[in-house]
Chain A
Amino acid sequence: MALHFELVTPAKLVRSEEVHMVVVPGAEGEFGVLEGHAPFMSTIDDGAVQVFKSAGGEPETINVKGGFAEVSENGITVLAEQVEG
């Protein structure tokens, strides 16, 4: 049970890994994505993307600026303009 998570900026492919859950700061509120999520697309606000490596584990936060998230059957792709940390 794993979700493929990709974080891409214009400069490089920041992350490409299998995770448990990703929480994204969507334009209309935060949303969490687990494996098997329905196809979905949203713009995102500046804020922290939380990556849960395993169920119940501590999230790893990545600050992103501007962009959007796309959820398809292949996993979630976050296209961000800038990534901090």
Chain B
Amino acid sequence: MPSLKELKDRIGSVKSTQKITKAKQMVAAAKLRRAQASAEAGRPYAERLSAVMASLAGKVSGDSAPKLLAGTGSDQRNLLVVVNTDKGLCGGLNSNLVKAAKAKAQELLAQGKSVEFYLVGKKGRAPLKREYANHITGGFDTSVVKTPGFEEADAIAAELIEMFEEGKFDVAHLIFPTFQSALVQNPTANQLIPVPSPEASDDGGAVVEYEPGEEEILEALLPRYVKTQVFTALLEREASEQGASMTAMDNATRNAGDLINKLTIQYNRSRQAAITTELIEIIAGAEAL
């Protein structure tokens, strides 16, 4: 049985923890709204770009297709681009992502392919390093900026494309959380490079003129498409992080409240017991006289 003072200290410490989790929850709720808004604001661009890609990719095919679209002709060397968050306190989000990345790596390794990792964000580094220490080729630190924007996506995509052009890998997969709601963020794996050929759309037979040429436009478009994919992943990550954080901190706050109630009852009981014992002692003493 803990002493009264111990109980009191314990209650105090749980109370201050609750304060932290509550504050974090409110911050996350406010940030979530903003992150969600910017994720939605980014959608028109991605949609238009995909539409244009679809109509172009159908026209340029065969040998003339750029390398980013056609690939290297092999799928032996795989690169997993894992997008994790920089900060913790967001429940199982990062461990789920790492789990998904490991599952994908296992699957590829089982097929006799080689796997390398490119890590974005701080949180996935340690657990992946533990198991695949020799497979990590690089990473990008997004923790230096407050909210990663298009410049970061630009830098990441540029590095990836450079690695691809140097022939360091054949296929790149992007693993990132997709934000569905504050409760659900699913890790998703998408093929990033070579760019998966979109369904060729038939735009009503209208003859579109291209300037300079179809191939040149496609060549300019593909890196942009990769960039947009990375950017979308960053936006989704931002929204997911805040959503997961909000839910996790809400739970933590509630748990702390329950714990405080339990401890308070225990504290009051012990106090009552102490008083009763004292009274009994006094009465017994008086009777003995």
Contacts and interface: CB of A to CB of B under 8 A. Distances in A.
A11 B149 CA distance: 8
A11 B42 contact: yes
A28 B212 contact: yes
Per DSSP, are chain B's interface residues mostly helix, strand or loop, or mixed? helix
Nearest to A73: B206
Contact of B42 (A10, A39, A72): A10
A60 interface: no
A38 B207 CA distance: 8
A50 interface: no
A43 B209 contact: no
B140 interface: no
B208 A81 contact: no
Contact of B211 (A11, A12, A41, A66): A41
B214 to A, nearest CB: 9
Interface in B88-117: none
A10 B42 CA distance: 5
Interface string B36-72: 0010011011101100100010000000000000000
A61 interface: no
B221 interface: yes
A27 B44 contact: no
A75 interface: no
Given A10-B150, A10-B228, A27 B211 contact: yes
A74 to B, nearest CB: 11
A72 B206 contact: yes
A67 B228 CA distance: 12
B200 to A, nearest CB: 15
Given A12-B41, A13-B41, A68-B221, A41 B48 contact: no
A70 interface: yes
In this complex, the interface size class of chain A, counting residues with CB under 8 Å from chain B, is 20 to 34
A79 interface: yes
Given A39-B206, A41-B211, A68 B217 contact: yes
B66 to A, nearest CB: 14
A79 B50 CA distance: 12
A23 interface: no
Contact of A42 (B48, B153, B211, B227): B211
A15 to B, nearest CB: 11
Nearest to B43: A13
A43 B52 contact: no
A40 to B, nearest CB: 5
A7 B41 CA distance: 13
Interface in A1-19: 8-13
A67 B224 CA distance: 8
22 contacts: A10-B42, A10-B46, A10-B231, A11-B38, A13-B44, A13-B45, A38-B209, A39-B203, A39-B206, A39-B207, A40-B211, A41-B209, A42-B211, A43-B211, A43-B212, A43-B220, A68-B52, A68-B217, A70-B48, A72-B203, A79-B45, A79-B49
**Pairs of residues from A and B, 8 with the lowest C-beta to C-beta distance, nearest first:** A12-B41, A42-B211, A39-B208, A39-B206, A8-B45, A40-B209, A10-B45, A13-B44
Interface of A: 8-13, 26-28, 38-43, 66-68, 70, 72-73, 77, 79, 81-82
Interface of B: 38, 41-42, 44-46, 48-49, 52, 56, 149-150, 153-154, 203, 206-212, 216-217, 220-221, 224, 227-228, 231
